[in-house]
Structure 1
Amino acid sequence: ITQNLPWPIKDLGVSIVGEECYGSLVENLHLGDVVCLKLALSKGLGIGIVAGGAIMKVPQILLITSARSARGPSLESYCLETLAYAITLAYSVRHAFPFTTYGENLFLTLQNTVITLLIILHAPRRALTATAASPDPLALAAVAIAASALALFMVPINILALLQLATLPLCLASKLPQIRQNHRARATGQLSAFVVGAQIAGCLARVYTTVQEVGDALVLAGYVLALLLNSVLAVQLWAYWAAEDDIEASRDAVRIYDRIQCSFA
């Protein structure tokens, strides 16, 4: 049966794992082929990560838009993280790596760009040091985003390799403001637990797929560092969860007290 599957299914399988591994695993049911099994697992994880990356930051976007507040997410963190994603995307595209090994970076770059603009939109004017005569922060951000995207796909490949190396300190720098902000506030605000958890799972899978299919030490080091830093954020979410509940309960109590006072006024 497996040797006579419809051609669309066969073509899809061959495009994912290659003709040799498709024949071994599907047509001949040779499940002891360790090399092809590792490749199939890597491809499956890669497809899952790309699909997950397409919606990973949507909960964060919804949290900010529904609350009409950007309390929690750090503007500095998102600017640096977006730049790191964009560099890795450009580096992978220009080195012709398989799309399943980096595709989520495309979606994460786009979603992070939206979140960054939302943080700027909902930030207090004084936090952006805006004055009546100063340019619109949103317009400045849009120009910077467009210029950065153009530059990444035009710089020489050797310069791009240096930029990929720079994603290591960028990754570190992108998470430290968020970690510091959470520590100072003893709360995580509108930071999404789903997003942090998904990033940890994605980094774990990306470490495996990078080892199996790419073998680029720069890319691998970036995912390992991101895994460690996202784990720190996860610990903070867990540690400050009770504090968030206490803060919200206190606010509710104040609102109820104010209503009672108004009713007797």
Structure 2
Amino acid sequence: MLIVLLLFSFSVQLTSQKNDQSSEDYKLIIFSEFCYDQFFGDSELNNECISDTISRTISILMVAFAIMNQLPQILKIFKSQSTQGISFNSYYTELYLFSFITAYNIYKQTKFILYGENIIVGLEYCVVLSLFLFYDKDLSFHQWLFKAVFFITINTPLYLGLGPQWIFDMTIYINMSLLFMARFLQIRLNCRNRNTGQLSLLTQLQNYAGSVARLFTLFNDNADFSYMVYVLEDNIMGTILLIQIFNTWRAERKRKRNNHDNITELTGKGIKYDQI
């Protein structure tokens, strides 16, 4: 079933690349023809070219390094052999988000580099969700299989052009709801457990840095306002998760320090008693 999910995500990537109808030619990947002449020619360099080049560079780097996004989380699960503190429903809900945001950008004919990282990270989410089969005893294979089939059934029509028009118009608002729901489920689990379990700090930092960088590129490219609000929401929810992780670390360090002080105090008393 993991193979099915991976093939589905790969087909989404191919579809999005075919629908990327940006006709502007670039030199050395990051320079438009106009900006290339300004950077390397005798023309005076203007701020617009600098901003556009930086924006495109950030977008390309985000797509290229998206493969690193969930790698720390995957390695942490493998190392601990546990998914404790990680919400399956949060990851599953956010997988819909990546799929819908890709469908939305294909529909809007957005440049591929402005959303390509969603496809790659979606693949990694498939891997994380598959790990729950091995390390989450509360999740049965039949439950996981049902969710996988349901996901494919819901999303396939979007990429075959069979979905109703209003869905594409409402996709960004659906994604806002999915983002809030996915992050809320993880935040609520963290509050309930009073710790963040096996949630990877490095992965959350990458998510946060990526959302901040993406917000810059969207403002620079005059992207759809609703998409900007969606990315801003991602920034806010990501900030809350980071605060929870840091609070967990601080509480854990305080607990270890108190235990160390207690052991030292008991040892000191023991030595004093022996001397008497």
TM-score, scaled relative to structure 1: 0.80
Taking structure 1 as reference, are residues 26 and 145 closer, same or farther at Cα in structure 2, changes over 3 Å only?
A: farther
Provide, for residues 81-103 of structure 1, a one-character-per-residue CA deviation record: whole Å limited to 9, x for no partner: 11111111121123221121111
Partner Cα distance (1:65, 1:104) in 2:
24
Letter aligned with residue 13 of structure 1? K
1:60 pairs, out of 49, 55, 73, with: 73
Aligned-partner SS, 1:124? coil
- Contact 1:188-1:244 within 8 A present in 2 as well: no
Q: CA 1:109/1:248 → structure 2, altered by over 3 Å: closer, same or farther? A: farther
Q: Is the 8 A contact 1:75 1:120 kept in 2?
A: no
List runs of 5+ in structure 2 lacking aligned partners.
1-24, 260-276
Tell me if 1:139 matches 2:177: no
Using the TM superposition, give the Cα deviation of residue 242 of structure 1 relative to its aligned residue in structure 2, in angstroms: 3.2
Aligned CA RMSD, in angstroms, stands at: 2.2
Preserved CA contact (<8 Å) 2:103 2:158:
yes
Aligned position for 1:209? 217
Partner of 1:46: 59
- Runs of 5+ in structure 1 lacking a partner? 1-10, 251-265
Aligned match of 2:271: none
The answer for the alignment partner of 1:185 in structure 2 is 193
- Check conservation: 1:87, 1:167, Cα contact below 8 A: yes
AA matched with 2:38: S
1:14 CA displacement: 6.0
- Return the offset for 1:245: 5.0
Distance, in Å, in 1 between the alignment partners of 2:249 and 2:32 is 46
> What residue is the counterpart of 1:199 in the other structure?
207
Q: TM-score, normalised by structure 2?
A: 0.77
Q: What's the counterpart of residue 228 of structure 2?
A: 220
- 1:82-231 correspondence runs (5 A): 82-125=95-138, 128=139, 130=140, 136-153=142-159, 154=161, 155-231=163-239
Q: CA deviation at 1:115?
A: 1.1
Q: Report if aligned partners of 1:97, 1:214 keep a CA contact under 8 Å in 2.
A: no
**How far did residue 248 of structure 1 move?**
8.3
Stretch moving more, 221-230 or 62-71: 62-71
* 1:143/1:17 CA distance change after superposition, 3 Å: same
What letter is aligned with 2:154? S
In structure 2, the CA distance between the partners of 1:117 and 1:76, relative to structure 1 (3 Å rule), is: same
How far has the Cα of 1:124 moved from its partner? 1.9
Aligned residues: 232
Would you say the 8 A contact 1:117–1:141 is kept in 2? Answer: no
Tell me if 1:240 matches 2:248.
Answer: yes
Q: CA deviation at 1:222?
A: 0.9
Q: Which of the numbers 14, 30, 45 marks the counterpart of 1:16? A: 30
Distance 2:42 2:252 in 1: 56
Question: In the alignment, is the contact (CA less than 8 A) between 1:120 and 1:137 conserved in 2?
Answer: no
- Specify the code of the residue in structure 2 equivalent to 1:67: S
